Structure formats: C-alpha cells, structure tokens
Amino acid sequence: MLAQRVPFKAMGSPCELHLHAKSQNKLDAVAGAAIAEVARLERKYSRYRDDSLASRINASAGDPAGLEVDAETASLLDYAALAWQQSGGLFDISSGVLRRVWSLRTGRVPEPAEIEALRPLIGWDKIRWQRPHLVLPLAGIELDFGGYVKEYAADRVAQLCREQSLRHGLVDLGGDLAVVGPHPDGSPWRVGIRDPRNRTGAIASVALLAGGIATSGDYERCMLVDGKRYAHILNPKTGWPVEGLASVSVAASHCLIAGTASTIAMLKGGRAGPAWLDRLGLPSLRVDADGEISGSLASGARAAGFQHSAA
C-alpha cells in the first residue's frame, strides 16, 4: 500500500490530502480529481469571483423575480435555513454584508452608525426561499457561502475518494478535516488542535477514525486595536465580533456539521456556547478568552511538543 501527501492551496488556505492506495496511478488520479472538486466549489461559491454563482445570486438582490438554483445549491440553502433556525438566528449566511464595514486589513473599528445602517439587510427570515426558487427581496442583501462551503468541500472530497475505491485517507482543507478511512492497519488519524495564542503549537491531539473535525476561532483572521482583539466571526444580531471564546473545535459525523456547530458555539459566547455543545453531545474542545480549556476532547490538552499535523 502506497502513501502520498499532496499539498495544495485552495479557498485561501493551505490544504493537504493524505492518501493510501495500491498504485501510484491510483493515487495520482484520485488526488487530481479531489483537487479539481475543491476548485469547482471555489469557482461556484466564492464571493471574490465575479463569475461565480454566489456573485450571480447577490447580483439578483432587489429583483422580485429572483432566480432558480441547481440541486447542490438548493441543498446548501436548505442547510443554511436549518442552521439558522436551530441556532436561534445566529448562523446566518446573510450576515456577510457586514464585511463592508469590518475590514480586518485596515485595522479600523467601524462606527456603530455604520453597522446599524447595514442591519436592515441582514436576516435569513428576509430571504424568500422555496426550492428551487430564491428571492433576495432588498437591493444590497448578500448571501455568503464562505462560512460553510469549505467544510462541505472537505466532505465532498472524502466521499469522492471513497467512490474511487480509496478506503484510507484524510482530507485537510485549511484545518477543516474529513476522514476517508483509517490508516491501512486500522489505526486512527491523529490530528492536532491548534493553540489559539501560539501559532506554532497545539493544545491537544485527537484520534479520528471517521467523520470530521473543524475549528472556529478568533486568531486566524482578526485585528488588534488598542489592545483589543476583533475576530472575523460577526454576530448577525449585533453586527459586532464574537467575544468570550478563543476557539472551539468540534468532531462530528461530517465536517460540515462540525464546522457549523463550532461557529454557532463561538457566536453563542463563553458560557452559552459550551453549554449548547454539551446539550448536543458533540465531542468538543473549547478555549475561553482567559485560556481555560473545557470539553470532552480536552483530556489530551497541552500535549507537550505536539504540532498541528496529520500522521
């Protein structure tokens, strides 16, 4: 059984495939198909591409006729609607419009009036969605698939590998992980959960045999202004960045579920987020703003010398 590690870049992140197969030709073919699938989803759902479906959807805002979407997009919209409902409106793919005033590159905190001016454009309950017909009723409304399409892509690639008869592998899209299958000897993949305040270190080692794991945090994309940290995860109800938790990692049957749950926990905050995860019963590790660690995955926390990698 041959092993291959395939690094590549996609969706603004460093990515890796860890694959096992019986021949080099098989490894090359599956890796190529996997990378092409990630590229397809990036082309389709990136808000940074004028030719993407996401941009076409947003360009339709204010048109009462709306537009019809394909089955894949309909499933993603159905998922967004369910996540919005089950999160009490916190997971909201219409909140991306806030990036107009929250630009982390500038190091500028927007004025409250700037945020308030955008809030009428935010709210999944404003969207008219009746599969396959989508209407964004107000000019300026935007849908942002970026909050969950990378996790969806990790699951898609893992499934593609299995459809191509690979049974052993791990997909890593910028830290969002989906298991193809365990190592050939049946052992799990051991992955590190990054320390949110130490870029080169990790706070725990987690064993994965199946499913996926994802992490949301205030460290990868953030800005520091006058000693205060402003994260990229924005609360759609207030328009302001999350507070209370530095990072949340969740393991689940699918990377998509794990990523959504970790994001919702961050949005719920320091006390409500962990309590919500515990009620769900999803394995998790949480680090609060003071560095306190909790959760069912915390037993291996602060593992000395463990680096963020797959093995």
CATH code of residue 159: 3.10.520.10
107 domain residue, yes or no = yes
Domain-located, residue 22 = yes
Strand ranges inside the chain, DSSP E: 2-10, 13-21, 67-68, 128-130, 133-135, 168-173, 176-181, 189-194, 202-208, 212-217, 222-225, 228-231, 245-252, 284-288, 293-294
Judge whether 311 lies within some domain: no
Whether residues 76 and 183 fall in one domain: no
Query: DSSP letters along 104-121, please?
Result: TTTT-PPPHHHHHHHGGG
For residues 19 and 106, membership in a common domain is answered with no
Closest to 215 measured CA to CA, from 299, 277, 159: 277
Domain boundary pick from 143, 169, 197? 143
Last residue of a domain, one of 126, 143, 160: 143
In a domain, 170, yes or no: yes
pLDDT of residue 221: 67
| Domain annotation covers residue 306 | no
Q: Which of 143, 169, 202 is the last residue of a domain?
A: 143
The confidence score (pLDDT) of residue 194 equals 86
Domain holding 131, by residue range, is 53-143
Name 89's bridge partners: none
Same domain, 103 and 168: no
Q: Are 66 and 126 found together in one domain?
A: yes
Is residue 218 located within the same domain as residue 296?
Answer: yes
- pTM of the full predicted structure? 0.93
* Number of domains present in the structure of the chain: 2
| CATH code of the domain containing 64 | 1.10.3980.10
What's the pLDDT score for residue 111? 94
Specify if 308 maps to a domain: no
Asked whether residue 70 falls in the same domain as residue 121, the answer is yes
So what's the pLDDT on residue 197? 77
Identify whether 47 is part of a domain.
no
Q: Is residue 46 part of a domain?
A: no
Same domain, 264 and 184: yes
Are the beta carbons of 148 and 260 closer than 8 angstroms? yes
The answer to whether residues 207 and 82 belong to one domain is no
From the list 96, 111, 185, 86, the residue with the least C-alpha distance to 146 is 96
- Domain co-membership, 67 together with 29: no
Q: Is there a single domain that holds both residue 88 and residue 185?
A: no
Residues 74, 176 within the same domain = no
- pLDDT by residue for the chain (311 residues), tens only, comes to 899 999 999 999 999 999 999 999 999 999 999 999 999 999 999 999 999 999 999 999 999 999 999 999 999 999 999 999 999 999 999 999 999 998 877 778 889 999 999 999 999 999 999 999 999 999 999 999 999 999 999 999 999 999 999 999 999 999 999 999 999 999 999 999 988 877 777 888 899 999 999 999 887 666 777 677 778 899 999 999 999 999 999 999 999 999 999 999 999 999 999 999 999 999 999 999 888 999 999 865 543 222 333 44
pLDDT value for 253: 97
74 and 217 housed in the same domain? no
